[in-house]
Structure 1
Amino acid sequence: MLTLSINGNDLQVDVPDDMPLLWVLRDVLGLTGTKYGCGIAQCGACTVHLDGQAVRSCVLPASSAAGKQVVTIEAIGETDIGREVQAAWLEDEVVQCGYCQSGQIMAAAALLAQNPAPDDVAIDQSLAGNLCRCCTYTRIRSAIKRIGQA
């Protein structure tokens, strides 16, 4: 039995220690906003925050999250940065198909928490592992810069 702090709630989960956190979130806890994309930490759809850092939950053993704070897309809007990112996403009409957006938003929020006014290089480096099939990268960068200039 593991105790995980998910979105500010301490939850007991009866799962194998090596079960990927993504499956705990989606299949055990019903938090389906975090998406499965590739399963090998290459696309970023499964991005969550672990103690404020953007991590890929598809390859992170659930036991690695014990004793740490996990924040998912379901709760990011409860933070100031998360609200700003979501508002900028709407203003810049970032979303097309939307599949990658939970991971993109989580990566952007983590970046902005560490660097409130990132330049293009910082944005590109921070979001390099988040793939968007619709190629809205220009809009994503614009939305992040909008927040940094506010």
Structure 2
Amino acid sequence: MTRWSPQPAPDEPDGLILFDGVCIFCSRWVRFVINRDTEKRFRFLPIQSEAGQALAVRYGIDPEAPQTNAVVLNGRIHFKSDAALTVLGALPGMMAFRGLKVVPRLLRNPVYDLIARNRYAIFGRTDACMIPSPEDRKRFL
């Protein structure tokens, strides 16, 4: 098992997505999920929050320089490309993305890492975390 392999996370809230709240790309990812998550299965936690930092540290993510997002689903926490594909595979109409998990992490994660390493340069960053709409606010921890 590698550092970024899925791990047991039985005490974490199911459907929780940990994300970089000042990353514009990451905030767009959250908006993408919100718009497609008709069952409202997912909730969101910016890594810049106290709870987000604590969760990150528990699973070996540096809160000052996060190199991955994470998702807790069915008692396991997923990182990097596994996290993205796990979320996509759980959204209506996106189940085909589950099939990409047959591609080894050894090939998937370098692509993820390239985007993650350059996300601020390519997409930008903000000084503050995104502010959800009043109706979506209850989905943020």
TM-score normalised according to structure 2 size: 0.28
TM-score normalised according to structure 1 size: 0.27
